[in-house]
Amino acid sequence: MGRYDEVFQRSIHDPEGFWGEAAEAIHWYKKWDRVLDDSNRPFYRWFAGGELNTCYNALARHVEGGRADQVALIYDSPVTGTIRKFTYKELLDQVSRFAGALKGLGVGKGDTVIIYMPMVPQAAMAMLACARLGAIHSVVFGGFAPHELAIRIDDAKPKVIVSASCGIEVKKIIEYKSMLNKAIELAEHKPKACVILQRPQAKAEMISGRDFDWDELTAKAEPAACIPVKASDPLYILYTSGTTGKPKGIVRDNGGHAVALRWSLENIYDTKPGEVYWAASDVGWVVGHSYIVYGPLLTGCTTILYEGKPVGTPAPGAFWRVISEHDVKTLFTAPTAFRAIKRDDPQGEFLKKYDLSRFKYLFLAGERLDPDTYHWAHNLLHKPVIDHWWQTETGWPITANCVGIEPFPIKPGSSTKPVPGFDVQILDSNGAVLGPTQEGLVVVKLPLPPGTLPTLWQADERFLQSYMKIFPGYYFTSDGGFRDEDGYVYIMGRVDDVINVAGHRLSTGEMEEILAQHADVAECAVFAVHDSLKGQVPLGLAVLKAGARKDDAQLKKELVQMIREKIGPIACFNEATVVGRLPKTRSGKILRGTMRKIADGEPYTIPSTIDDPAILGEIEEALKKVGYAHKK
């Protein structure tokens, strides 16, 4: 039995012993009474009776332990031309003072605070300051429309909202304050106060009596002490992207979260205290919570908060510069970032300018990693390119190549094996366990490990309906996939990304993998469109690499032939067209469902998470040219 098998089997068969040992890496004011409280299944609670403070574990513990002068956070902002470094001692001082400012506004243990900010250090400071006070933060992605922010205000009912005067998208200034004002106007719940970070790029008008200046408030605040909280007390609420109507608030507890993330940095990512870890994401997403802010700081690493893009700020070499300049060991980002770099610099010319000799791992997640992007990145970097899979709900990876335990050979298209603690199974629609290579529904046998969602914010019944009642005894991931004979897991996409062509269930993810192998294709999307004869047929959209030929008819012919050769005529793949770009959420997920509605002429709402709403008009025009997108 290898090292991974030994660790994994213990995590499944002795979860209390396994996670009890892992919890020794965290400081506790009071040790737990039980590692796992399973008295109210499926509402499992980890480290019941234990008390801790997440902010203390992320900052003060390291200052007291000899890391006071180590850099904790690097703020790298190509959009403002700023690089600023904060040591653990400096970050602790700033966080303590802002916690004091919040305390002065009446924020205490159990209160909620909404954070609506761009990618600036103060966003992380606000999160940690809430944790310090035992308050519950809910980060709403900066730049969300007022309506979407108002929905979240009404659900979380914050005592205070923390925001900024503006965000910056490449060269465009996005004024936040007017959107915040409108959201508060729309919301039934009114916050007691707003704290506004004034950025030099835009000056926000302040409302007397409600709005307070971040710098002025913090300058006169008394530093606040850490407040012990129960392990089961909420640390944060994070609303799932694309929510319509009443949002789904994922709850994260303090105890299990701290233990799981501390364990994950070394065992999954092979990143140790003192090393530099960079998650190129946003604090508004779960990746930002777990691996920009909490995971690296709980571990004693140096983390990077990057206010920029993979391309355009200023060039496709932006990531290589950051890695080289800040001695990054491990980078975690979305495949879409690398597809953008591949599109703009297909030969990797920009990489030649930088020294990446200390860079060791590239981890990708957030959407399926198509083999073509995997091979391009691997051949360019000559480093391990590691696909892994997880969800907002789980808070950390479900399947991964756990290089800190035992590295496995990489199989393109697979996110390797279940992470210790996650008993992953493949079921058919009747709940029967499927064998190797049989595609079905991906579930995790309960209990879920620490750090995963214990429930939804003030919605226990919705938690049960959404995740627990579909297959009793299992957490339902809503993803489809299979395991091969070696136990490697392949995630083929959301269950609703499987299309039904004349009674045959076909994976759009598999078709995308095939199309992505075309020499001229930078990225692509396949989704189902209505067909009066077959029910549904697949439609492909392709974005071309820089400098690629633009003959639509020839490209379409070649793409159709590729699907015919690899899947066969049964796929009924007869239509593909070129588009300038694909609509995505700000976290990089392609909006296939929205494109399907446009193609079928159905009414649709512009998703609150979309990166650029104007792109939907471009998609509609492209689809009309191939006979779709006609309103019913």
**47-73 as b/e, with b when 16 or more CB fall inside 10 Å?**
bbebbbbbbbbbbbbbbeeebeebbbb
Tell me if 3-308+388-482 shares its fold with 502-625.
Answer: no
Neighbouring C-beta atoms of residue 154, cutoff 10 Å: 15
- One-letter identity of residue 599: A
What would the pLDDT profile of 175-206 be if each residue is shown by its tens digit?
Answer: 999 999 999 999 999 999 999 999 999 999 99
Q: Is the pLDDT of residue 321 over 70?
A: yes
Residue 462: is its pLDDT beyond 50?
A: yes
CA–CA gap between residue 36 and residue 44 (Å, rounded): 7
For residues 261 and 240, what is the distance between their CA atoms, to the nearest angstrom?
20
Residue 71 has pLDDT above 80, yes or no: yes
Asked if residue 154 has pLDDT above 90, the reply is yes
Instruction: Tell me the C-alpha distance between 34 and 25, whole Å.
Output: 17
Distance CA 205, CA 125 (A): 23
pLDDT digits (tens, 9 = 90+) for 213-248: 999 999 999 999 999 999 999 999 999 854 345 678
Q: Which CATH architecture has domain 502-625?
A: 2-Layer Sandwich (3.30)
Please report the pLDDT score of residue 240 as a whole number.
82
Q: Give the helix ranges, DSSP H, for 60-173.
A: 61-62, 88-104, 121-133, 146-156
Checking DSSP bridges between strand 82-87 and strand 71-77, what pairing results, if any?
Answer: antiparallel
Residue 336: band (very low, low, confident or very high) from pLDDT cuts 50, 70, 90: confident
Each residue's pLDDT tens digit, 96-152: 999 999 999 999 999 999 999 999 999 999 999 999 999 999 999 887 788 889 999
583 in Cβ contact with 622 (< 8 Å): no
Closest of 283, 285, 271 to residue 363, by C-alpha: 271
Length of the chain as a residue count: 632
Question: What tens digit of pLDDT does each residue of 488-521 get?
Answer: 999 987 776 666 665 565 778 778 888 999 999 9
Quote the pLDDT of residue 504.
Answer: 60
Q: Classify domain 3-308+388-482 at the CATH class level.
A: alpha beta
Alpha carbon distance 457, 476 (integer Å) = 18
Work out the average pLDDT over 397-425: 97
CA distance 154 to 159: 11
Q: What pLDDT is recorded for position 505?
A: 59
Domain borders along the chain are 3-308+388-482, 502-625
Query: Using 50, 70 and 90 to split pLDDT, how confident is the model at 405?
Result: very high
What is the pLDDT, as a whole number, of residue 244? 41
* pLDDT at site 116: 97
Spatial neighbors of 209 by CB under 8 A, at least 6 apart, are: none
- pLDDT at residue 550, rounded to an integer: 66
The pLDDT tens digits for 427-452 are: 998 999 999 999 999 999 999 999 99
Do residues 598 and 618 lie in contact, with contact meaning Cβ atoms separated by under 8 Å? Answer: no
Separation in Å, CA 565 to CA 376, 541, 560, 561: 23, 19, 9, 6
Question: What are 512-567's pLDDT values in tens digits?
Answer: 888 999 999 999 999 988 877 667 889 999 999 988 876 788 999 999 999 888 77
Paired strand residues for 536: 530
Q: Which long-range contacts (CB under 8 A, 24 or more apart) does 238-242 make?
A: 238/138, 238/139, 238/286, 238/289, 238/392, 239/138, 239/140, 239/152, 239/155, 240/392, 240/393, 241/141, 241/285, 241/392, 241/585, 241/587, 241/589, 241/607, 241/608, 241/609, 242/585, 242/607, 242/608, 242/609
pLDDT of residue 513: 85
d(CA 252, CA 236): 6
Go through 235-263 and write b for each residue having 16 or more CB atoms within 10 A of its CB, e for each that does not. bbbbbbbbbeeebbbbbbbbbbbbbbbbb
Here the tokens at position 498 are 């499987």
Instruction: Give Cβ neighbours of residue 120 (< 8 Å, ≥ 6 apart).
Output: 75, 77, 164, 197, 199, 305, 307
Q: Is the pLDDT reported for residue 49 higher than 80?
A: yes
The span from the CA of 226 to the CA of 113, in Å, is 17
Tokens of residue 566, six digits: 């690899």
Instruction: Read off the pLDDT of residues 561-620 as tens digits, 9 standing for 90 and up.
Output: 998 887 777 778 899 999 999 998 877 788 888 899 999 998 888 887 787 888 999 999
DSSP symbol at 206: P
Name the 3-class secondary structure at 481.
strand
Q: Render pLDDT for 279-316 as a digit per residue (tens, 0 to 9).
A: 999 999 899 999 999 999 999 999 999 999 999 999 99
Q: pTM of this prediction?
A: 0.86
Identity at 119, one-letter amino acid code: M
Question: What SS3 state is found at 350?
Answer: helix
Query: According to the model, what pLDDT value does residue 611 have?
Result: 79
